[in-house]
Structure 1
């Protein structure tokens, strides 16, 4: 029988150097070859971050899923490792879908969703793969470890995926995404399972259910424990828009509330969109050696124009630059991690100005800007002819726009979404990460993320300052 993992690794090794470099990021992890979507198995292991990801190595569109693998010491420079998983068993022959990892006895345990289909019925079950060295993984012989017999009443294995492993006290837990069907409508639900050894799992319980105004199904759950606070992350499909929020057809949200570890239930107090940009989905977190929660996500969402495929670039997809997140009284706060800031090399002095001016850009820049809180300011990127990638601040609103800029990106929304607006409490300081085909804005603990595709590359940053109020700008290079 053909070894599908060896085949995939051989293909990547042969073709990676042939991939066109146009639009490929410098400091964001992208597919080595082919397609990339959800981050998987994000973990800090032996002083390095390990990040796995959904990938089809053979083409720049979604297809039968494998697990790619890379590692980094600083979240900026990534080293590709051999592919970790291929769909080579009857229970995962239609794909090794998303999952997570955890460290036990100095080994990495991956739990992923194995997908198969028989007589037109999809079966999604949860499987283990274990590594002694952090590179080579062996699938557990008795897979699957969570299947039909573990499900609570009213649920099936058609949509039952994306396990996130966590440990609380001396017990392991797996939280999984599914949906509850009620007539012709459905809503998201999260199931929870427990184990003392990662092998033998309990009967599942419903951790929490959503409602029809929280999407038709949830994906990619994550349960964050930050000191005495808990938040549940999910990615709802078809979340109805509400004010400025949830404008993309698929969203990612965090829910604050109370976790009862005795009866394994989560009660929702409130929920909010994680990222207010155009491209952000399926976030996943890990805990590093400083006990910081670090989050990454796929910088894309389903149902959007696949520019790389249209241009036959033979790669598609990248991750956000991982972020440090903190649960505070104001909600989930997102920051650029210290490892990333330490990598930033200043290539210009801090400039204090009241003028409208332009500044030269490198291919991956960190732009730090401070201004008077309520004063309007616009920062745009491009060249003298076209600089319509814009970040605009007015009062307490910030808008990120790629309208009329580069290749048009359409989606399944009723109207094409080309800009998003976010309300913040403090608009006096922001940081912007620019990296060849992506932009991420950090302001007041919140973020807006988007991709863009324009050639030639961005060369200048323009500041429009109608009130001539004082601002300070610093450009650093990652």
Structure 2
């Protein structure tokens, strides 16, 4: 088909429907579509937004530029599921069609109150002098219809001492009040978490910035997310400008998880642990929410920064969300594993050292238990074009190495990622592969790696 060159800051209107339908039909033929990862029908996907379980269904929104596989005018696309496996497209989405959001509906979360789901987002508003931060609200009714609040924006402008780079509201209820976290940067170029308070979700008072007790986290914070899990306060934070540290923080942008104790009166977070949330190549902007029965769940963006992945121009779609992950606290830190509903969808492989397997399906899972005294390798692909996974109990390392793949991805940020292991101890590893998307769960989800790979062959070899 003939692709149109649509201007970057164009929002979706009825006049675009015909072209968009053609584009969706074209993208359905892509040989690289995943089965179980939420992906865009066309164009580019990034941050998960507004995650919730509402009126008996899961609702996932995500940042979406419909017209091309590149960053542009962001909408909130919307998919719905009853089981976290089968997702249906919804036309009830956020389209940036008002003046106060003239440059896009940026990220945010949602909260249920009074039988309605309140969707908070950043209304991107650019001027010649710079950005004017605006936070906005839409409401989803019980019948699924969405309308924007007539009093938008609910927060207009930046507090004194802060730059215009303030975004990604995360709203939650605690101690009979509503709080909003916003990521931002101050005038000195240091990342900050802004805290607002409200009694009604409509009027918001700025309380100050959250003290994390450290100053080495970068120049800008994005996508804060907070939840109390198993008696611990958990804070997720996506970082811009965080310097690499040996094998850590190697990606363009990083995401960290804090556990500890938050004090919203003193505006402090007493940190007990801080870890990279995902030690792979392709992960950013996760969001936590409560699923059915209050179960803590999380999705992340299966991507990072301004990537140009192989085949994106010919496929006309780019990126996906991670699998839905169940999260819990063990030994004081966050653990992640795929939600139980999704695990059974993947065909299980069985492989032994010295074997080669060619999977019959392009979505499979593999459970491994490493040796305690010798190195084990898994290769996905051919000898001349493969991903190398190394479990080394002697050096105490788990390694994912993309250097032997022909199709290169963001080489400027390195070709391998390393996770430390206990030396001379066995470790259990679970791989979930979904047609170019790979999630690796180490030691029961103590550590996770998410990465893309595009080998010509998907055979699996254990060495």
For normalisation by structure 2, the TM-score amounts to 0.90
CA separation of 1:216 and 1:291: change in aligned 2, threshold 3 A:
same
1:416 and 1:126 map into 2 onto residues whose CA distance is 33
Distance 1:400-1:293 versus aligned 2 partners, 3 A rule: same
Distance 1:242 1:111, change over 3 A: same
Aligned equivalent of 1:300, options 295, 298, 303: 303
Contact 1:234 1:252 in 2 (8 A): yes
Mapped pair 1:371 → 2:370: yes
Q: Report matched runs for 1:325-364 at 5 Å.
A: 325-346=327-348, 353=352, 355-361=353-359, 362-364=361-363
Unaligned runs of 5+ in 2: 1-9
Structure 2 equivalent of residue 318 of structure 1: 320
1:153 matched to 2:160? The reply is: yes
Q: Tell me the equivalent position of 1:451.
A: 452
Whole-angstrom CA distance in 2 between matches of 1:140 and 1:281: 29
Assess if the C-alpha contact under 8 Å between 1:28 and 1:319 holds in 2.
yes
Write the distance in 1 (CA, Å) between the matches of 2:334 and 2:139.
Answer: 32
Bigger Cα displacement from structure 2, 123-132 vs 13-22 = 13-22
1:284 is aligned to 2:287: yes
What's the counterpart of residue 259 of structure 1? 262
CA contact (8 A) 2:64 2:76 kept: yes
CA–CA separation in structure 2 for the residues paired with 1:447 and 1:381:
18
Partner of 1:74: 83
Are 1:431 and 2:440 matched, yes or no?
no
1:391 aligns with 2:381: no
Q: How far does residue 178 in structure 1 lie from its aligned partner after superposition?
A: 0.5
What are the within-5 Å matches in structure 2 for residues 9-408 of structure 1?
Answer: 11-19=19-27, 20-82=29-91, 84-133=93-142, 135-148=144-157, 151-156=158-163, 158-182=164-188, 186-208=189-211, 213-309=216-312, 311-346=313-348, 353=352, 355-361=353-359, 362-383=361-382, 385-395=383-393, 396-408=396-408
Distance 2:71 2:214 in 1: 29
Q: TM-score, normalised by structure 1?
A: 0.87
> Could you list the runs of 5+ residues in structure 1 that have no partner in the other structure?
465-478
- Number of residues of Structure 1 aligned to a counterpart in Structure 2: 446
Runs of at least 4 residues of structure 1 off by over 6 A?
none
> In the TM superposition, what whole-angstrom CA distance separates every residue of 1:401-438 from its partner, at most 9, and x where no partner exists?
12131411125xxx441110101346421100111111
What are the superposed Cα offsets for residues 47-73 of structure 1, whole Å, 9 maximum, x if unpaired?
322111111101111011111111223
Match of 1:473 in 2: none
Contact 1:125 1:147 in 2 (8 A): yes
